[in-house]
Structure 1
Amino acid sequence: MGFKENALKRSLWVFHFSGGSCNNCDIELLDCLTPRYDLERFGIELVGSIRHADIIAVTGIVNRQCKPRLEKIYKQASKPVFVVACGACPCTGGIFKNSYHTAGPLDEIIPVDAYIPGCPPKPEAIISAIVKLRNKLE
């Protein structure tokens, strides 16, 4: 096992991409960092640069304006990078599925490794999905 894979098991860094969301998923994702849920106990923390991230957490529907930005961010990420669709909107399109401004579900734009359904998803579900991604490395 290489250095990067060993480091990934111990500390996953998450980059949050909000694609036109209603902020419910954003609030739940940030709620995972509070002392009540304490996502950092698993070595997982939020980072501000995609170049340092191991996971891209996408919340909200990806609209036509955000699609090129998301593709560019995905290309800039160091590989391997996991993509998590957080909430009903990036998973299926949610209530905006047949709307004129949507670019489609997230898996039609970039490859997705984990889906967290719900509107908004519970912090327990977010933590569970990220821990399962961590276990996938072993």
Structure 2
Amino acid sequence: MKNVLNNMFGPKICKQMPLGDAEFDKLGFALKSEINTIFGRSLAIRALDSGSDNAAEIELNNLSNPYYDVERFGISFVASPRHADILIVTGAVTQNMAIAVRKTFDAMPSPKLVIALGDDACSGGIASGGYGVLGGVDKILPVNLKIPGNPPEPAQIINSLLGLMQSLRKK
């Protein structure tokens, strides 16, 4: 019992982690302002893996962890494409996933926005030219934004979303 109390109230072994990144927060709140201007509500994102190595998905999932917490900026991830404003596709589109990617896109309400996340989704990546790979997402869907990187960092994803929202507002 003494060890438990000592661990709880004694000196800490680990250093205190910073609670947030001021630059990331600045980007996020600017994005929230753009989302409110364009949509008048939160932004719903449907993530779709079309044949990736999960590197981009890990970074996309990191956006929902307590450190980044993008829900405070009005971004939510949804399970159904029928509720999505944006479709984020990760990975090169494989022959087996082409129909599923197309059906997911078709199920989305208009306006349909598509983002290719990561090098594989942008150009097919290292699997490009393989017999089972069609290539990047732009081979079968109209892509509004490409976010290169293997994988792109969460701050890069937020910055790219901000750029997309600003370009939509100008149109």
What's the TM-score, normalizing by structure 2? 0.74
Instruction: Report what 1:70 is aligned to.
Output: 101
Structure 2 gap ranges (5+) = 1-35
Shift of 1:136: 2.9
Q: Distance in 2 between matches of 1:131 and 1:42?
A: 11
Residues 1:53 and 2:84 aligned together: yes
Instruction: Report what 2:45 is aligned to.
Output: 14
Deviations 1:8-44 (A, max 9, x none): 2531100010011111111000001112122122211
* Contact kept in structure 2, 1:9 and 1:137, CA below 8 Å: no
Supply the AA of the counterpart residue of 1:122: E
**Larger RCO, structures 1/2 (Cα 8 Å, 6+ apart):** 1
Instruction: Report what 1:113 is aligned to.
Output: 144
- Counting only pairs closer than 5 Å after superposition, residues 1-138 of structure 1 correspond to structure 2 as 8-138=39-169
Supply the AA of the counterpart residue of 1:83: V
Instruction: Report what 2:29 is aligned to.
Output: none
Q: Which moved more, 1:126-135 or 1:5-14?
A: 5-14
Q: Distance in 2 between matches of 1:114 and 1:9?
A: 21
Q: Distance in 1 between matches of 2:50 and 2:156?
A: 20
Q: Distance in 2 between matches of 1:127 and 1:6?
A: 17
Q: Distance in 2 between matches of 1:6 and 1:34?
A: 26
What's the TM-score, normalizing by structure 1? 0.90
Q: Distance in 1 between matches of 2:133 and 2:123?
A: 11
Query: SS at 2:59's partner residue?
Result: helix
Larger Rg, first or second structure (1 or 2): 2
Identity of aligned residues (%): 40
Shift of 1:130: 1.7
Cα distance change on mapping 1:85 and 1:35 into 2, 3 Å: same
Size of the aligned set, in residue pairs, is 134
* Contact kept in structure 2, 1:8 and 1:54, CA below 8 Å: no
